[in-house]
Amino acid sequence: MECQEEKPIIYTMENKPIVTCAGDQGLFTSLYTSLAQQLPREPMEWRRTYGRAPKMIHLEANFVQFKEELLPKEGNKALLTFPFLHIYWTDCCDTEAYKSAVKEDMTRWQSSLRTHGSADWVIIVVETNDTKKKNKTNILPRSSIVDKIRSDFCNKQNDRCVVLSDPLKDSSRSQESWNSLLLKLRTLLLMSFTKNLGRFEDDMRTLREKRTQPGWSFCEYFMVQEELAFVFEMLQQFEDALVQYDELDALFTQYVLNFGAGDTANWLGSFCAPVRSWSGLLLRRPIDMEKRDGIQRGEASLLDLRSYLFSRQCTLLIFLLRPWEVTQRALELLHNCVQELRLLEVSVLEGALDCWVFLSCLEVLHRIEGCCDPAQLAANCSHTVGLWAYATDKLKSLGELCGLVSEKGPTSEDLNRTVDLLAGLGDERPETVSSLQSPYKKLKEALSSVEAFERHYLELSHAAMEMYRAIGRLRSARLVGKSLAEFYMRKGDPERAETFLQEALKSYTSEGWSLPVTHTRKQIAECQKLLGRTEDYLQTSALLAGDVNLTTEERKHFCQEILTFAGKSEDQSPKATLSMAVFAQLTRLQFRPATASVHSGAVLQAELTLRCLMPVSVHIQQLAVSVHFDLERAGTNGRSKGAPRQTNPGTVEFSQAHPSAGPASSSAAGPPLELDEIEDRSPTDNSLNSTGVVCKNTHLVMRCHDSASPPDTPNCVSPPSVTVKDDGQMLKVQDVTLEPGNNSIVFTAPSGQPGTYTLRQLYATVGQVQFVLPHIYPSVQYEVYSQEPQLTVEPLSEPLLAGLPQMVKFTLLTGHYAVKKGDALQLSNTDTMPVLPSASCTARINSPAAELVGESSLFIQSSEKVTSISLPATPPYHTLEFHLEVLCVIPHGCDRPANERLTNGEVRHRPRSYSHPDTPMTAIDQRMSIDCPWSIYSTLLALTFYIPFKTKHTLLSAGNRKYIQVCVQNMSDVNFTLAEVQLAEKQQATLELQSLNTKTQQLLCSKHSVFCLWEVRWKDDLPSCLQCIFSANFSPPKQDVSTFKPFHYQFQLERVTTLYSVRAEILPPASEQHCRSGFLCGLEVCITRLTEPTEGEAAEDSKTDADGLKTTKLMYEVADSSSNWAVCGKSSGMVSMPMAADATHKVQIEVMPLFAGHLPFPKIKVLKYLPHTAAVAIQPDPDSCVENDSLSLLDKVLDDQGDTASIRSRGSVHSVGSGDQQQQKGVAMPRLEPFAAGQVFNHSHTQQVLVLPATDDHIMEVNAT
């Protein structure tokens, strides 16, 4: 840069771009007002270089008279004094005047501009009617003058000559001329700005790139870039101006950081000079010219540069309506300046920086208060509270430095230091002299006396705390409070100090800051000791004694404080109750036995594991656990209808955080969640509708940690009030020494009275100090029960099979009852499940731990109704086991005798068999009544037996011959041997059942069947109903004959007589010997009545015709389900059959074979046709209508139910459709009724006929399988 001879005149926002005016000054003066007013009215789009976004700006100008001195000299790059545009004004219309004077003047004007390199100019020719009237003789047209000017001066730039017509008149022509002129001036000004600013920025950028060269000066570069910022500010582009200062700030900061890293710059030496003045920021002037001059001369200190730079940034931010950014930047500036002074190793008087920071904080706050109303300040206190807190902290540091905080007051050395600090402030600035609350006056007053300092410090502290609380920053508010506490401690007021320390400790504890917790507790302990609060002091000392953040010596000191107090006599000090959590932690509790459940009188031990937090061994006179007894929850377990006893955990782990735990400690995270599952089920079918999780300790989890901390955690802020509960029963142990770390202590728990015992509190007595754990959590319980005797009977092996001797196991849990010699069990005898005699029966006696105590033989005595079992003597809470053999008789459907009565007088109902869903065998429940010596009531027990067999019967017919088939199916997993298989008829003596079974014994394997067959023979007439009994003996294979047990099965056969026979014959076509496929054949069906009608049959479905002959109607149907035949024409019909023996009816039907080969005959069905007038004996079949087309539907049902060889033994009525509904409506419909099994015999059922292929077939289909 060249010598700075001429300083630019700085008027801040009043500066405007300079525009010079040459030529007719009177003419310009007459138009100045209109020109100055109209120029900035319309905005112009400013398109800048380097792709920067265009902006709309309003242009203003400072019009001055043209002087050659205003033109920039070579090397002078100042922009504020740079004329951006030159205007020449003329209203000449006379040729002679133009040639003699105006042209020469214009020539001199342009010559001066060319000499100084100014190319931004314009000539304005003003035309008025008055000028024309004065010079009528020599006047030339205006265009001629303008043309001459353009030809003389604007050969290549004709647009640089502008005509303004009648500017003082109010006409459209004048206004149009004005608009054209203003647009031209704005355009030329923007062009000049763009060109000159671009050139200036390029030069500035070139200068910045030379910063690594020797001799480069930051101060010189600062003045250059600030010149650009001034221009942007002059154009009201405050954002661009702020960017320039931010770039300067960043550049200087980078140099300081590089200096700290070892990369030095020569020009930084001027900023390393000792600081002589610390008057703080000055924000009440738009530009602090004093500091700017110091920067320009290179004499400014680091604080001066930073102060000036921030004042300019503050001014621009306020212009941009961003006052809250000022506070943010100010806080960063103050912290950074302190660090930069350290990096540059600048010598600063002790306390000077504190003064500078304090004054700067208040100056920024006053500047913000001046541009915002109180409501805005209150709503945005989150932006200013940091400055309040920083000012408070620095004022406290000054008070400590100057001796204003100590109880004795400042010393002479402190006073001298205060004088030096005040001297560095200098004189108060003129802007704040009249202000009573200026930062200068506040600091001077605060350092003048102890009382003034205390008043100002408390005022600032409370203001900062209130602001922090208002914005919800409780942590910061408590940090300020902790600083206040230290102030009160220095002033000798521990009572006020403790309040603030407790609040700070609450924040540290809830967030898990271990080191601040330790430091704050030490301060609290000091306060409590000074205040004489013994119990609180002991509690805090115990916390500190177990704090691992302290040294071993410090921990021992606090532990000795407790032991010293504990060693005092009762007369010297009262007994103190402290929280157990600060002394030791309960980490584990284990019961022996592990079930945590014993019977009354048994021994139960509880082993506690305590982790001692003290640094030395501590002798405890007594360690006790209070026990709460709950009789209501006790109950007697083991009853026959009682629910199983709730099991308690035998080992309980307690998770405890160390007092100095970090953020993951339980004190920060709160108590653990106790979750339980809930289900919502439908009341109708018990289906699950929804499921969820519920927290059972919400009152602990959700409570506010700021207002209350968990009382049992060692991180509690203030010692909780410990309440000692007297629950009557205690677990005690005397004279225990706890070593640092884990210790194991064994208690013997009381177990005399049945009930639930809950461990509530833990006590440790050390002399006059008692440590109490008020709540043992999670809850620990053990149960002492009084169990009723319980008798159970269960199979020795599954399943129990009916019909065979089975072993069952009797288990007697004696409970609280002692079985005496001579006590006996009385079992009721039943004929369906007798107790089998046994030569020897041994009972086993087991202890509660399932250990064998002894064995004894049982004496069993049976009578007609009762079986008595004498029991051996058995102690309480032992188990007595023995086995008995019983036999469940398989029911066979015989007539049942009268119901019996059990030993307790209750009517014993006969057992009924039923199907069990888990097994294919039929189940039978057998109940027995047992009278026990310990109860006046009988015990009812049930055993489930399973019938191993499933039996079914079938009636078979061969013409008039009848056969009965019985199928025995083994459903069990055991193989059996069947012997002496017999079938008998109970009512018909003349009836003979001839056995066709050849084997006397037959093996019946598991899941297999055996079929037995008998032929029915009779002499006179075959009865219509047969009452049959099937009997057999069975036993497991390879057993003695004496072990076989009987098995009976009773059933009844009805309608066994054959009424009709059906014969069919297939006739080949005429002139053919055999049937051929695809040709019609004749099917002749012959239905013959075999017997005379019985009385019941005649009355049921007979009808007398005109000749007096009784007839009945039959329905026949020919169908082929195998698709071998096609029935042509009518496939079904109804015939009237005489009810006389040997009555015959023939039916001719045409059928066509579809395949060649030996084809079975089509299926022929015969059914009863009952008219609507027939009596309904059983369920009607109303949907069986008389139309032939509907009969096939019925046949499909009949096909599924079997043919004439049906396995059913009873006749039934088959119906299709909704017969029940029609019967209810009273509509009588004809119906079809199938014959019972064996009533119709089809001779052609298995017959086949030879069918030849058609003679013209050349391709034969052969199916090979």
- What's the pLDDT tens digit per position in 1148-1190? 999 999 889 999 999 989 988 887 665 544 444 433 333 333 3
Entry pTM: 0.55
Long-range contacts of 983-987 (CB under 8 A, 24+ apart): 983/1012, 983/1014, 983/1028, 983/1029, 983/1030, 983/1031, 984/1028, 984/1029, 984/1031, 985/1026, 985/1027, 985/1028, 985/1029, 986/1027, 986/1028, 986/1029, 987/1023, 987/1026, 987/1027
Name 863's Cβ contacts closer than 8 Å, sequence gap at least 6.
829
For tokens 């002078």, the residue is 76
Q: Distance between CA 609 and CA 277 in Å, rounded?
A: 67
What is the C-alpha separation between 1014 and 919, in angstroms, rounded? 31
Greatest Cα pair distance, the chain, in angstroms, is 176
Cα separation, 265 vs 219, in Å, equals 13
Minimal CA–CA distance to 1112: which of 1098, 1124, 1123?
Answer: 1098
Q: CA distances (Å), 188 to each of 21, 57, 58, in order? A: 15, 14, 14
Average pLDDT over residues 722-739: 77
- Bridge pairing between strands 1075-1076 and 1248-1252: parallel
What pLDDT was estimated at residue 335? 93
Q: pLDDT value at position 841?
A: 86
| Closest C-alpha among 332, 338, 336, 394 to residue 362 | 394
Name the band, by pLDDT with cuts 50, 70 and 90, for residue 1012: very high
Q: Which two tokens stand for residue 1124?
A: 């071998």
What are the tens digits of pLDDT across the range 11-52? 344 678 888 898 888 888 888 888 888 888 888 888 877 767
- If one compares 82 and 557, the residue with the highest pLDDT of the two is 557
Q: Is the pLDDT of residue 733 over 50?
A: yes
- What distances in angstroms separate CA 1040 from CA 948, 977, 1010, 1044, 1045, one per listed residue? 20, 11, 22, 7, 11
Residue, of 554 and 43, whose pLDDT is higher: 554
Phi-psi map region of 880: left, alpha, beta (phi>0 left; psi -120 to 50 alpha)? beta
- To 10 degrees, what angle do helices 323-343 and 302-319 make? 170
pLDDT surpasses 50 at 1192: no
Which of 830, 829, 783, 790 lies closest to 812 in space, CA to CA?
790
Asked whether residue 7 carries a pLDDT value surpassing 70, the answer given is no
Q: Does pLDDT of 1265 surpass 90?
A: no
Do the beta carbons of residue 327 and residue 384 sit within 8 Å? yes
Handedness of CA 18, 23, 26, 31 (dihedral sign): negative
Q: Give 4's pLDDT tier (boundaries 50, 70, 90).
A: very low
Mean pLDDT of the chain: 81
**1061 beta partners:** 1088, 1241
pLDDT at 328: 92
- Please give the pLDDT value at position 1214: 38
pLDDT tens per residue across span 1024-1037: 788 899 999 999 98
Question: Hey, what are 750's tokens?
Answer: 């009381």
pLDDT at 48: 75
Query: What's residue 788's pLDDT?
Result: 85
Centre a 10 Å sphere on the Cβ of residue 1120 and count the other Cβ atoms it contains.
18
pLDDT digits (tens, 9 = 90+) for 183-235: 888 888 888 888 888 888 888 888 899 888 888 889 889 998 888 888 888 88
What count of residues does the chain have?
1265
The DSSP symbol for 1188 reads G
Phi, psi of 231, deg, nearest 5 = -65, -45
Cis peptide bond upstream of 920, omega within 30: no
Between strands 842-846 and 879-887, the pairing is antiparallel
Confidence of residue 59 (pLDDT cuts 50, 70, 90): confident
Tokens of 630: 């709950």
Query: Do you find a cis peptide bond into 834, omega within 30 degrees of 0?
Result: no
> Contact at 8 Å (CB) between 671 and 701?
yes
- Of the pLDDT bands very low, low, confident and very high (cuts 50, 70, 90), residue 365 is very high
- Residue 289 sits at the vertex; the CA angle it makes with 264 and 307, to the nearest 5 degrees, is 50
Q: What is the pLDDT of residue 1005?
A: 93
Question: Left if phi > 0, otherwise alpha if psi is -120 to 50, otherwise beta: which for 562?
Answer: alpha
Which of residues 135 and 17 earns the better pLDDT score?
Answer: 17
What DSSP letter does each residue of 556-592 carry, written as one string? Answer: HHHHHHHHHHHTS-TTTS--EEEEGGGTEEEEEEEEE
Q: What is the pLDDT of residue 1189?
A: 35
935-987: per-residue pLDDT in tens?
Answer: 888 888 888 889 999 999 998 888 778 899 999 999 888 999 999 899 998 88
Burial 649-683 (b: 16+ CB within 10 A, else e): eeebebebbbbbbeeebbbbebbeeeeeeeeeeee
Both ends of the chain: CA-CA distance in Å? 116
Q: What's the rounded Cα separation, in Å, for the pair 209 and 1234?
A: 118
Residues 263-266: contacts with CB within 8 Å, 24+ apart?
A: 265/218, 266/214, 266/215
CA distance 507 to 497: 16
H or E element in which residue 1250 lies = strand 1248-1252
Give the confidence band of 1100 by pLDDT, cuts at 50, 70, 90: low
Residues 316-329: tens digit of each pLDDT: 999 999 999 999 99
**Which one-letter amino acid corresponds to residue 177?**
S
CA gap 625, 459 in Å, rounded:
53
Is the pLDDT at 180 greater than 70, yes or no? yes
pLDDT for position 131 = 56
Q: Identify residue 1077 by its one-letter amino acid code.
A: S
Assigned token pair, 70: 């205003």
Q: Is it the case that residue 1208 has pLDDT exceeding 70?
A: no
Average pLDDT over residues 650-663: 62
Kindly state the percentage of the chain with pLDDT values over 90. 19
pLDDT band, residue 861 (cuts 50/70/90): confident
Q: What is the pLDDT of residues 577-598, one digit of tens each?
A: 888 888 899 999 999 888 888 8
Residue 714 has pLDDT above 60, yes or no: no
| Distance, CA of 22 to CA of 66 (rounded, Å) | 5
pLDDT greater than 50 at residue 1206: no
Return d(Cα 907, Cα 287) in angstroms, integer.
117
pLDDT for the residue numbered 905: 54
- 597 near 783, Cβ under 8 Å? yes
Average pLDDT over residues 378-401: 90
Strand pairing category for 1001-1004 and 976-985: antiparallel
Residue 640 has pLDDT above 70, yes or no: no
Mean pLDDT in residue range 409-426 = 88
Count of Cβ atoms closer than 10 Å to residue 733 Cβ: 15
Q: How far is CA 332 from CA 286, 340, 396, in A?
A: 21, 12, 20
pLDDT-based confidence at 144, cuts 50/70/90?
A: confident
What is the spatial distance between Cα 564 and Cα 582, in angstroms, rounded to a whole number? 17
Alpha-carbon distance of 211 to 204, in angstroms, equals: 11
Q: Which of 537, 562, 567, 666 is nearest to 614 (CA)?
A: 562
The set of residues, in sequence order, having a beta carbon less than 8 Å from that of 449 and lying 6+ positions away, is 404
Residues in Cβ contact with 1084 at an 8 Å cutoff, skipping those fewer than 6 apart: 1064, 1065, 1066, 1067, 1146, 1147, 1148, 1149
> Among residues 856, 883, 859, 885, which one has the least CA distance to residue 870?
859
Q: Which residue has the tokens 């995270």?
A: 669
Q: Mean pLDDT throughout 121-130?
A: 80
Amino acid at 467: M
Q: What is the pLDDT of residue 722?
A: 55
- Asked if residue 1051 has pLDDT above 70, the reply is yes
For the cut 90, the answer to whether the pLDDT of residue 145 exceeds it is no
